[in-house]
Structure 1
């Protein structure tokens, strides 16, 4: 019985963390190893990428977002600013999109 409670709890946690684009993005940044940025950074629409790649994003059912206080990648010292959030069914999944 306890095993099923753990499984149901994990599924519920996953769904709660991926039910909205902003929480999916914050979860992704947190899992990348940047918990402070995941909690404190603001999230805004990435108007540049949404305008330039809008048709492609529409076909992918996705939208680009930018972190206002992005984390700095340790290896390259680059800012991890832009992310693509895709809607799959009723959940959202985020991935790093890059600068260009």
Structure 2
């Protein structure tokens, strides 16, 4: 009986380690953070296939704000189309916390 408890605890620890590793990998670079965000927004095809480039316009215009946030803007060159508004989900802001990157939709403005 004691052996089974130890086995279950080992399985739980391994499960949580695997989840932590996956999380770290999905947030290790700006592009993987954007792809993860787009995937979980419900656009898996765009998350995998759309090229990502620096958003030079927003990075220049909002330079001071981005420096304060430790962030940088990126653009999907083949963005997904939002179902409700038919708008392109093109621009994303990636903030860096330590060695992790987190993306959020930035909009057009």
- Output the TM-score relative to the length of structure 1: 0.99
Q: 2:85, 2:13 → 1: CA distance? A: 43
Q: 1:97: Cα distance to partner?
A: 0.2
Provide structure 1 residue ranges, at least 5 long, that are not aligned to the other structure. Answer: none
2:95 is equivalent to residue 93 of structure 1: no
- The aligned residue for residue 50 of structure 1 is 59
Provide structure 2 residue ranges, at least 5 long, that are not aligned to the other structure. Answer: 1-9
Q: 1:14: Cα distance to partner?
A: 0.2
2:87 is equivalent to residue 64 of structure 1: no
What is the RMSD computed on CA atoms of the aligned residues? 0.4
Runs of 4+ in 1 over 6 A off after TM superposition: none
- Output the TM-score relative to the length of structure 2: 0.91
Highest CA radius of gyration, 1 or 2?
A: 2
